[in-house]
Amino acid sequence: MSESDKTIDIVIPDIGDSESVEIIEILVAVGDQVSNDDSLLTLESDKASMEVPATSAGVIKSLTVSIGDSVSSGAVIGTMSIADSAASESSDKPAAAEAETPARETEEPAAAKPDKPTPPPASPAEPVKPAPSSQSTSPTAHLDDENMRKAHASPGVRRYARELGADLSLVTGTGPKARITKTDVTAFIKQALEGMGSNYRGGSGAAVSGGAGIPPIPEVDFSKFGEIERVELGRINKLSAANLHRAWLNLPMVTHHDLADVTEMEAFRKQLKEESGKDDPKVTGLAFHMKALVKSLQAFPKLNSSLSADGEALFYKHYYHIGIAVDTPNGLVVPVFRDVDKKSVHQLAIEMSDVSTRARQKKLKPDEMQGASMTISSLGGIGGTSFTPIVNPPEVAILGITRASMQPVWNGSEFIPRLMCPLDLTYDHRVVDGADAARFMAFYVRQISDIRRLTL
C-alpha cells in the first residue's frame, strides 16, 4: 500500500427491517483487487438474496466474517485500502456513512466457547411441555412476554420464535452459554409437531402454541423404490414455504375466477411494439394490468387495506404500490413497484425491465420488496387456465393472471373470436366478502377490456 492510500471499513448496507441476515457466499479474499460496485459477498434474508458491492476500487485488507455468520445493518465486516482520491468520494456514499451505526446483536456470536457443556436437546421420545392454553392461536402473537424475555436468545431468534408460535421458555439452547439459536427453535417445533401427531393417534406427545393438532406426513424411504438424489432446498425456498404455510393456516381464503376480453389491449400493445425504436422499452400486458389494478383499488379501497393484528380494525392505504411475483433461479421474489398510479405504461415497462434483471442477479434491496398494496402473480406465457394464488399477508388479496387464449364469444347475433384472459382473485374472507370480490373483478374486467378507461 502506498503512502497515499487510505484504509476504509467494509460496511453492511441497509438491510431493511431485518434484525440480521445470513452470509451465504464470500466472493473475495484478502489481497484481492476489486473495482467499484464489484460484489464482495452475498446475503440472504427471508425475502431474497442480495449482494454487497464495493463502494470504491481498492484492495481487500481484512475480512472478519465467514459463511454462515449473521450480520446487521452498519456492521463492519472488514477493511480495504483505496487511493486517497477515492476515499473522499466513498465518504459521501450512504453505505460508508453507515459504518458509524453500531452493529446489532448477531444471532450466533463467533467467539466464546461455552463455559460448561450444555445439556443436549430433548429426545424426540420425551414429551415437550405444552404451552398454556390461554395463549393466542396466532403464530405472530406475543407469547408469554416475561418468559420470552428470560430466555437467552437474540432479537432475531425471538422474532423467529414468535412467528412460528414457539415459547422460548420451553426451548433448550445449544449455543454458547446455552444461547437459543434458530436451529433450536426449529428442532423444538419439529418435535412438538411429532408430538401432535402422537396425540392425534391417541398417544401422548408435544404441543406447540398455535398448533391445530395437524398430524405430520410420515417419512418415506424412497430409496427402496429405486435410485434417488437428495437436493437441499435453498434458504429462500424454505422460508417461502414456511410463510405460505402460515398464511394458509391463518387466513380463510377464497378464490374468485373470471375472464377478461383483452383483444383490444393486446392489439394496442402490438401496435406500440411496431412503432417503438430499438432503444424503446418493451411494453408487456403486465403494465396494463398494473394500471387496471390501481384503478380497481381506487374504486374499492377495502382491497387496499390490511387487518390489524388484533383483528379489530382495518388500515386503509392511500398509496398504490403493486408487488409483482418474479421467478428467479433462487426462488420466487416479489419486488414492489411504488406509486403505480403516478407512472405511465412506458415508465412501468422501463422499471420492470430493470427490476427483473436485478432480481435475477440478487441485487434487489430489502426495501424494494416491502409495502405492497396488492400483489400480481402472472404465469404469463407459461400456460394454464386458472390457479389459486395464496394471499401474502398483510395484504388482503392477490391477483392471478394466466395465458390468454382465443375463444368464440357470442355478441348477440353470432360467435366472434376474442382473446380471453383468465383472472383469479384470492382474498382474505375476514376482510373481503364474496360480493366485494365479485364487484371488484367486474370493475377490473371493464378496465382491462377497454383500456381507454385507464385514462379517465
Distance between CA atoms of residues 190 and 206, nearest Å: 10
SS3 call for 169: helix
Whether residue 58 contacts residue 86, with contact meaning beta carbons closer than 8 Å, is answered with yes
CA dihedral sign, ordered 369, 374, 380, 386: positive
Q: Take residue 357 and report the three cell numbers written for it.
A: 434483471
Q: Please, is 364 exposed, middle or buried when counting C-beta atoms within 10 Å of its C-beta (0-12, 13-18, 19+)? A: buried
Q: Residues of 279-313 as b/e, b for ≥16 C-beta within 10 angstroms? A: eebebbbbbbbbbbbbbbbeebebbbbbbeeeeee
Catalytic-residue membership of 429: yes
The bridge status of strand 331-333 relative to strand 374-378 is: unpaired
Residue 136, CB-side half-sphere exposure with 13 Å CA sphere: 16
- Which one of the listed residues 152, 256, 346, 429 is annotated catalytic? 429
Whether residue 31 contacts residue 382, with contact meaning beta carbons closer than 8 Å, is answered with no
Which residues have a Cβ under 8 Å from the Cβ of 399 and sit 6 or more positions away?
289, 293, 374, 375, 376, 377, 389, 423, 424, 425, 444
Beta-strand runs (E) in 12-120: 21-26, 33-34, 39-44, 49-53, 58-63, 70-71, 76-83
Active-site residue numbers? 429
